[in-house]
A = this chain, B = another copy of it.
Amino acid sequence: MAGKVRVGVIGATGMVGQNYVRLLSNHPWFELTYVAASPRSAGKRYMEAVAGRWVLDEEVPAAVADLTVGDAGDVDAARRQCDLVFSAVEMDKEAVRELEERYAAQGLAVVSNNSAHRWTEDVPVLIPEVNPHHTEIIPFQRQNRGWDRGLIVVKPNCSLQSYLPPVYALLRAGYEVESMVVVTMQAVSGAGYPGPASIDMIDNIIPYIPGEEEKSEQEPRKILGFIQNGRIVPDHSIHISAHCNRVPALDGHLACVSLKFRSRKPALDEIVRIWRTFRAEPQELGLPFAPQPVLIYRDEPDRPQTRRDRDAGRGMAITIGRLRECPVLDVRFVALSHNTVRGAAGGAILSAELLKAKGYI
């Protein structure tokens, strides 16, 4: 245990919070020493606080069951018990923004699932394999805000994590992308708990997820942006059309993607080669949650499938398939990631590992 970073989860009783608790169990670098939630849960044992609300198929880890739940609003309590918090609070954006800043001001590293700070200019939206260098904004962030050791990083919307890493691999290999048409088929767990009613999902598809398309179209621009004068400047050169559907699957966001390159266009086998050999900083650094490989390209004509491929790389890999020419844009493919692991708690833990490896915590 010696040398482990003490971490906390705020908003620990909700579905995302539960996933943090599950995934942090036996983490080699982090020890979960603190959980916090609303005042209603504060003071209870974690096991009691989630009684009747634990939605995961796995059991509550024994080491966490007996932790006393703190009040998420009590930053001092958190500071005494941990050095980093994963934020999974569910409040209105303004309140989240303010709360996360209070944690950071008290010297805590905040890694957030919430969308509140995604468009804050000095807060990086991290996919550790795509923009690990955006952590370089942290010194500016601290300077701007007068924070000593505190910091805030956030993770992006879950659905784009199925297709942005494969697209980024092509960008990094020198193939500029001009535009993308993406249609997603997203699992019900993406909506949290309870999420969609079964009466709406049995024998049905809902072609709409409020707010999801805007996020899917805008956030990639910030993730692919660059740091200039202490802020992250979005890259507006890429045009994305996202259509997001809710489908009756538990976990896993599947995306059908058509891509147009700006000038040079790679051959199909070159694209597969790029994907299969793609490694990024998390892999180089050997981060515990970094999947090896990140991108799995499957040759079978009917893969990736939501249920069969979502757990690849313990839910952290992205599985791709069906690469072929597109009669309208240039190429097209299918990609899948696990929305509650890679797209939420797992991705945030990987970001925290990156911060640790790079010395920010």
- Chain A 299-324, CB within 8 Å of chain B: the 1/0 string? 01111111110010000000001100
A183 at the binding interface (Cβ < 8 Å) = yes
A201 nearest CB across to chain B (Å): 4
A77 at the binding interface (Cβ < 8 Å) = no
Q: Once the chains bind, are A249 and B203 in contact (CB under 8 Å)?
A: yes
Residue from B57, B188, B327 in contact with A217 in the complex, judged by beta carbons closer than 8 Å:
B327
Residue from B183, B207, B254, B301 in contact with A305 in the complex, judged by beta carbons closer than 8 Å:
B207
Q: Once the chains bind, are B208 and A199 in contact (CB under 8 Å)?
A: no
Instruction: List B contacts of A329 (CB < 8 A).
Output: 181, 241, 328
Choose among A52, A195, A204 the residue with the greatest number of B CB atoms under 10 Å from its CB: A204
A206 to B256, CA, bound (A): 11
Q: Once the chains bind, are A183 and B327 in contact (CB under 8 Å)?
A: no
Instruction: List B contacts of A207 (CB < 8 A).
Output: 254, 256, 302-305, 321-322, 334
Q: Once the chains bind, are A203 and B307 in contact (CB under 8 Å)?
A: yes
Using CB atoms and an 8 Å cutoff, list the residues of chain A in contact with chain B: 52, 55, 57, 179-181, 183, 185, 188-189, 193-208, 210, 217, 239-241, 243, 245, 247-250, 254, 256, 258, 260, 300-308, 311, 321-322, 326-329, 332, 334
Instruction: List B contacts of A250 (CB < 8 A).
Output: 199, 202-203
Instruction: List B contacts of A322 (CB < 8 A).
Output: 207-208
A42 to B229, CA, bound (A): 56
Choose among A248, A260, A332, A334 the residue with the greatest number of B CB atoms under 10 Å from its CB: A248
User: Which of chain B's residues has its CB closest to A194's CB?
Assistant: B197
Please name 21 pairs of A and B residues whose Cβ atoms are closer than 8 Å in the assembled complex, sorted by A.
A52-B300, A57-B307, A179-B328, A180-B328, A181-B258, A181-B326, A183-B183, A188-B198, A188-B199, A195-B197, A196-B198, A197-B197, A197-B198, A199-B250, A202-B250, A202-B307, A205-B249, A205-B306, A241-B326, A243-B334, A247-B248
A163 nearest CB across to chain B (Å): 13
Instruction: List B contacts of A239 (CB < 8 A).
Output: 327-328
A328 nearest CB across to chain B (Å): 4
A115 nearest CB across to chain B (Å): 19
A194 to B197, CA, bound (A): 5
Apart from A204-B305, A207-B304, A248-B248, 4 more pairs, CB < 8 Å: A188-B198, A188-B202, A204-B249, A207-B305
Q: Once the chains bind, are A183 and B308 in contact (CB under 8 Å)?
A: no
Instruction: List B contacts of A188 (CB < 8 A).
Output: 197-199, 202
Residue from B201, B241, B321 in contact with A332 in the complex, judged by beta carbons closer than 8 Å:
B241
A321 to B245, CA, bound (A): 13
Q: Once the chains bind, are B199 and A193 in contact (CB under 8 Å)?
A: yes
